[in-house]
């Protein structure tokens, strides 16, 4: 299958060139969001289908239904700027996707603001609370946010203010590239009030008067940055785990026995495009992970509750796995079977039984085995003393293809 992806300019059909119009009218199957499909004229005998939802899990089967036919997909502006173009290339391969871009809203926003593209971070808002912005704020950083709807600008301003970035200048550009184009500018602390065009882009010049505002993507957030019930990988130990897991753009982490979700949250914060699935048997803790992910700017973190080791086999194969609690023979056998060659595995053991298991695996499979002892200074009567935390045995391993068949 070959898919032509046509980017629509803001003015719609009238802004397309002749070649792009011919592609659209000559398609047997036309795909796109309902808004995009409504911008082009009807063609007799042409099938039109909106994208499935959720998109990524259903897209392979959806496209298979159009095999052997002339397929054209519609997108906004440049389909490869946080758009459907990149998704289709990932799924079908670059040789099966032909992209025909228009001027993107990101380029138009940069032109209106006078911002060099190299100085801008682009983020697509998909959640109603715009929490995607939270993980990107930093002093002096410029953000271009592709809004979900008319409510996104107010939500973005609220997130910035909550994060200590109320001094950030928020510029709302509405209906970019059309005769109805608008511009509004405000401080995040003031908020965005009144009517906003449904099609808008939000430009943020980040600024804060709180030098301790938490914005660094480096692993090791304070424990109190998370809502938790005590089941959390502590700050120093968590940073050590992530050093071995090595977050990488596009890689998928399984966070098993996730507790508060701190490892998967910081995996996603560390690198743009890093993905994670947090698996937590306890439903209340799973709900807490979802709240932590939203609050700390990674609302795309997937949370799964109430499953055992056998149920993991339906998940997509991971590039890295962290087992923070509940490691046993069956679970680790599943992990070693599923993890991709070259993947990274980190297991934390706090009980004698789990430590015995990882000692045996280390003897057979190798890797690094260390015991982490952390002591924190605190009050002791009228004085101060060191309070030791429970020691953690950490086993880390980079997977050799032969390890996949190992009998854990």
* Residues 328, 304: Cα–Cα separation, whole Å: 19
Distance from C-alpha of 271 to C-alpha of 258, rounded to nearest angstrom: 19
User: What is the predicted pLDDT for the residue at 404?
Assistant: 53
| 156 and 171 assigned to the same domain | yes
CATH of the domain at 111: 3.30.950.10
- Residue 127 falls inside a structural domain: yes
Instruction: Quote the domain boundaries for residue 86.
Output: 3-103
Domain boundary among 103, 128, 150: 103
Do 302 and 357 lie in one domain? The reply is yes
* pLDDT at site 306: 76
Element (H, E) at 69: none
In a domain, 217, yes or no: no
Bridge partners of 7, per DSSP, are 75
Residue 262: CB atoms within 10 Å: 31
Radius of gyration of the chain, Cα coordinates, nearest whole angstrom: 24
- Tokens representing 1 are 């299958």
188 φ/ψ angles, rounded to the nearest 5 degrees: -60, -40
Are 308 and 280 within 8 A, CB to CB?
no
375 shares its domain with 284: yes
Residues 356 and 291 in one domain: yes
Measuring CA to CA, which residue among 4, 6, 170 is closest to residue 78? 6
Is 51 a domain residue? Answer: yes
Rounded Cα distance between 168 and 22, Å, is 45
Same domain as 281, residue 327: yes
> Is residue 202 within 8 Å of 147, Cβ to Cβ?
yes
Q: What is the CATH number of the domain that holds 251?
A: 3.40.50.150
The reported pLDDT for the residue numbered 216 is 72
393 located within any domain: yes
User: Per DSSP, what are the bridge partners of residue 173?
Assistant: 183, 201
Residue ending a domain, among 103, 133, 167, is 103
The DSSP-derived string for 195-254 is ---SSEEEEEE---S-TT-----SS---GGGS--SS-S--HHHHHHHHHHH---TT-EEE
CA 120/CA 40 separation, integer angstroms? 32
At 400 the pLDDT is: 79
Quote helix, strand, coil % in the chain, to nearest 5: 35, 25, 40
Q: How confident is the model at residue 309, as a pLDDT?
A: 64
Name every residue whose Cβ is closer than 8 Å to that of residue 137 and which is 6 or more positions away in sequence: 143, 160, 163, 165, 168, 206, 208, 213, 215
Domain boundary, last residue among 46, 78, 103: 103
Looking at the structure, tell me whether residues 394 and 273 fall in a common domain.
yes
Establish if 211 belongs to a structural domain. no
pLDDT at 403: 54
CB count in 10 Å sphere of residue 337: 16
Q: Are strands 169-174 and 182-187 parallel, antiparallel or unpaired?
A: antiparallel
Sequential pLDDT tens for the chain (408 residues): 899 999 999 888 999 999 999 999 999 999 999 999 999 999 999 999 999 988 888 999 999 999 999 999 999 999 998 789 999 999 999 999 999 999 999 999 999 999 999 999 999 998 888 988 988 888 899 999 999 999 999 999 999 998 889 999 999 999 999 999 999 999 999 999 989 999 999 999 999 887 666 667 788 899 988 999 888 899 999 999 999 999 998 899 999 999 999 999 999 999 888 999 999 988 999 999 999 998 888 888 999 997 766 678 888 999 999 998 778 899 999 999 999 999 999 999 999 999 999 999 999 999 999 999 999 999 999 999 999 988 999 999 998 766 555 554
Cβ pair 393, 371 in contact under 8 A: yes
Nearest CA among 134, 63, 146 for reference residue 291: 134
What is the distance in angstroms between the CA of the first residue and the CA of the last residue of the chain? 41
Same domain? 57 vs 94: yes
Q: Is residue 30 part of a domain?
A: yes
In this structure, the answer to whether residues 98 and 111 fall within a common structural domain is: no
Q: How far apart are CA 292 and CA 278, in angstroms?
A: 12
Q: How many domains does the chain have?
A: 3
């Amino acid at each position: 299958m070959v898919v032509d992806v046509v980017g629509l300019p803001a003015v719609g059909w009238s802004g397309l060139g002749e070649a792009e119009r011919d592609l659209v009218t000559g398609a047997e199957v036309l795909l796109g969001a309902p808004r995009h499909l409504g911008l082009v004229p009807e063609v007799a005998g042409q099938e039109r289908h909106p994208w499935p939802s959720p998109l990524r899990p259903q897209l392979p089967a959806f496209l298979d239904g159009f095999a052997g036919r002339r397929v054209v997909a519609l997108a906004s502006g440049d389909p490869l700027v946080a758009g459907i173009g990149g998704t289709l290339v990932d799924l079908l391969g670059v040789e099966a996707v032909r992209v025909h871009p228009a001027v993107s809203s990101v380029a138009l926003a940069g032109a209106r603001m006078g911002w060099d593209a190299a100085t801008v971070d682009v983020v697509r808002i998909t959640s109603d609370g715009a929490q995607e912005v939270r993980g990107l704020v930093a002093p002096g950083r410029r953000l271009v946010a592709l809004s979900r709807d008319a409510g996104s600008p107010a939500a973005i301003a609220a997130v910035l203010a909550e994060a200590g970035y109320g001094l950030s200048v928020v510029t709302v550009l509405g209906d970019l590239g059309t005769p109805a184009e608008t511009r509004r500018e405000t401080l995040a602390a003031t908020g965005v009030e009144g009517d906003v065009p449904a099609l808008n882009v939000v430009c943020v010049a980040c600024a804060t008067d709180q030098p301790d505002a938490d914005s660094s993507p480096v692993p090791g957030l304070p424990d109190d940055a998370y809502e938790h019930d005590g089941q959390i990988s502590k700050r120093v130990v968590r940073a050590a785990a992530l050093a071995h897991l090595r977050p990488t753009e596009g890689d998928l982490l399984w966070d098993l026995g996730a507790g508060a979700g701190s490892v998967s949250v910081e995996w996603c914060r560390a690198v743009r495009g890093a993905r994670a699935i947090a698996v937590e048997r306890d439903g209340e803790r799973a709900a807490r992970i979802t709240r932590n992910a939203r609050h700390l700017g990674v609302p795309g973190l997937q949370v799964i509750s109430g499953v055992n080791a056998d149920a993991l086999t339906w998940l997509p194969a991971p590039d890295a796995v962290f087992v923070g609690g509940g490691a046993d023979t069956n679970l680790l056998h599943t992990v070693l079977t599923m993890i991709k060659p070259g993947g990274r595995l980190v297991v934390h053991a706090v009980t004698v039984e789990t430590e015995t298991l990882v000692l045996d695996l280390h003897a057979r499979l190798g890797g690094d085995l260390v015991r982490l002892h952390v002591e924190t200074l605190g009050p002791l009567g009228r004085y101060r003393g060191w309070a030791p935390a429970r020691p953690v045995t950490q086993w880390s391993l980079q997977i050799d293809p032969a390890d996949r068949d190992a009998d854990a």
